[in-house]
A = this chain, B = another copy of it.
Amino acid sequence: MPSPPQPPRHLNLGAALLARNDALAAQLRGRFTTARLPVVNLLSSPGSGKTALLERLGAHLNAAGRRAAVIVGDLATDNDARRLQAAGLTAVQITTGQACHLEAAMVERALEALPQPLEGFDLLLIENVGNLVCPAAYDLGESRRLVLLSVTEGEDKPLKYPAMFRSADLVVISKVDLLAATGFDLQHARHHIARVAPQAQVLEVSARTGAGMAQLCGLL
Contacts and interface: CB of A to CB of B under 8 A. Distances in A.
Interface string A137-166: 000000000000010111011011111000
A3 B108 CA distance: 12
Interface stretch (A57-65, A97-105, A197-205): A97-105
Nearest to A97: B163
Nearest to A23: B2
Give this chain's copy count. 2
A158 to B, nearest CB: 10
A152 B181 CA distance: 11
24 contacts: A2-B23, A4-B20, A4-B24, A9-B13, A10-B13, A45-B46, A45-B47, A45-B130, A46-B132, A46-B153, A46-B160, A47-B150, A75-B160, A75-B161, A75-B162, A76-B162, A77-B159, A79-B160, A100-B100, A100-B133, A131-B131, A131-B132, A131-B134, A134-B134
Interface of A: 1-5, 9-10, 13, 17, 20-21, 23-24, 27, 45-47, 74-77, 79, 98, 100, 103, 105, 129-134, 150, 152-154, 156-157, 159-163, 175, 178, 181-182
